[in-house]
Amino acid sequence: MPTFELNRLLSYADEALFAELRRVAALVEGPYLTKTAFNRHSKASSSVICDRFGGWGTALERAGLRNRYSGS
């Protein structure tokens, strides 16, 4: 039986976005989590993340993923 999965988040609260960053980081291979890779696997847009937290690097740091930031 097929399962139904939403293609967007139910909540866009800060903690929900951090959880989504962590979820996608666990799926993406390689040392960095890029916005392109995030957008490919995520239920939220990297632009939402950047707008909310003031940039990709800041968002990754606040989510505990500082080591996954490429610096660009």
Round the average pLDDT of the chain to a whole number and report it: 94
Please report which helix (H) or strand (E) contains residue 62, including its range.
helix 56-62
In whole angstroms, give the CA distance from residue 33 to residue 43.
Answer: 15
What pLDDT digit, counting tens, does each position of 35-50 carry? 999 999 999 999 999 9
Please report which helix (H) or strand (E) contains residue 15, including its range.
helix 14-27
Does the reported pTM lie above 0.85?
yes
Contact 48, 39 (CB under 8 A): no
pLDDT tier, 4 (very low <50, low <70, confident <90, very high otherwise)? low
The secondary structure of residue 67, as a DSSP letter, is: G
